[in-house]
Amino acid sequence: MLAGTLYNVPLVPLWAAHILCNMAKPKSDTKNPSIAENRKARYDYFIEETYEAGIALQGWEVKSLRAGRAQLKEAYAFIKNGEAFLFGAHISALPTASTHFVPEPTRTRKLLLNKLEIERLDSAVARKGYTLTPLELYWKNGRAKLRLGLGKGKADHDKRNTEKDRDWQRDKARLMRR
């Protein structure tokens, strides 16, 4: 009874069953594969709102991002003359970059936001004392996007409370496992 169907389900010989079990699984549904993350931002700031912005990049920068060569550790965003910019993000060039072009890893890059979002962010930064912090650089539909956080700075005692909460969550997980 190697071939045939039973209830319209094809029968598979036993010797081929392991092949079906070990077949390549479809890719997990990772909607936004991350390129770089600024973990320190959530430690230093109370992030109240997040925005998604596109980035104006050059060709060599896109290739470097695909290779995962980006850092947001000391980056920040600012608004000037009705335009948003990313300053201090480090995208290092690949060694195979063009020889007739000198790449600048920490150049200021323009952020692509709509006018209403820029006005909202500008008023929050200017009047309310908020800070624009890049949180994550990721891919979305083949395009590089930046998640911006609008937040207020934490004081030292707030940071200590954050560490206490994190330690308590870790200890609680350990106790629950036992």
Sequential DSSP letters for 128-168: H--EEEEEEEEEETTEEEEEEEEEEEPPHHHHHHHHHHHHH
Residue 177: strand pairing partners: none
d(CA 127, CA 66): 38
- 106 within domain boundaries: yes
Q: Does residue 20 fall inside a structural domain?
A: no
Dihedral sign for Cα 156, 160, 165, 167, please. Answer: positive
**What is the domain extent for residue 111?**
32-167
Query: Using one digit for the tens of pLDDT, what is the confidence trace for 23-79?
Result: 554 454 456 688 999 988 888 888 999 999 999 998 888 988 998 899 999 899 999
**In DSSP terms, which residues pair with 50 in a beta bridge?**
149
Tell me whether residue 11 is in a domain.
no
The answer to whether residue 13 is domain-embedded is: no
Compute the distance between CA of residue 173 and CA of residue 178 in angstroms, rounded to an integer: 9
List C-alpha distances in Å: 135 to 52, 55, 57, 127, 175: 10, 14, 18, 22, 32
23, part of any domain: no
What pLDDT, in 10s, does the model give residues 121-172?
A: 999 998 888 899 999 999 999 899 999 999 888 888 888 888 898 899 999 9
- Position 119 in a domain: yes
Burial 16-39 (b: 16+ CB within 10 A, else e): eeeeeeeeeeeeeeeeeeebbbbe
Its pTM surpasses 0.75: no
Tokens found for residue 69: 């060569």
157 vs 166: CA distance, rounded Å: 14
Place of tokens 């949180």: 135
